[in-house]
Amino acid sequence: MKTYHGSCFCGAVRFEADGDLADGTMRCNCSFCRKMRYWEMRLPDPGGLRLLAGKEHLAETPRAQADGLNMHNWFCRRCGTRLWSDGDIEEMGGQFVQVVVAALDDATEEELIAAPIHWANGAHDLWWETAPETRHL
């Protein structure tokens, strides 16, 4: 496990996240992830995310539909950079935090290239299953 440092584009929000890209990442085919081009690394411990600066600049993307999911998508309200998602979804193993890979400042090119990707079928609320098509994601 490694402690990654992350931030938004303008630098207003900074955080640390304990995880390992080599343990796998996720991309999803749901409408939100497709629009945002999300690529996330789930932290093994939801407590492994530490906000260092910029709490006042955080904003949450409102859920597009009343689907009953306990999931929150956070971004910097100054520059719009997506930062992480958190929530509690039984089908995803309960409480979780997933940081946006693009927000990690010190992930090396080698780590990014080697990081395994699970292509989740979120469009059908089957995150644990592989999406039937991934070329457009």
What burial letters (b/e) apply to 117-136, b meaning 16+ CB within 10 Å? ebbbbbbeeebeeebeeeee
When pLDDT is averaged across residues 97-109 and rounded to a whole number, the result is: 97
Q: Which CATH number fits the domain that encloses residue 46?
A: 2.170.150.70
- Tell me how far apart the alpha carbons of residues 25 and 133 are, in angstroms, rounded to a whole number: 17
- The model's pTM is 0.88
Q: State the residue range of the domain holding 46.
A: 2-122
- Asked whether residue 35 is domain-assigned, the answer is yes
Beta bridge partners of 4: 17
- Asked whether residue 80 is domain-assigned, the answer is yes
When pLDDT is averaged across residues 12-39 and rounded to a whole number, the result is: 92
- Asked whether residue 133 is domain-assigned, the answer is no
Confidence of residue 65 (pLDDT cuts 50, 70, 90): low
- Tell me how far apart the alpha carbons of residues 132 and 83 are, in angstroms, rounded to a whole number: 27
- Asked whether residue 85 is domain-assigned, the answer is yes
Q: pLDDT tens, 107-117?
A: 999 999 999 99
- Asked whether residue 48 is domain-assigned, the answer is yes
How many domains is the chain partitioned into structurally? 1
- Asked whether residue 136 is domain-assigned, the answer is no
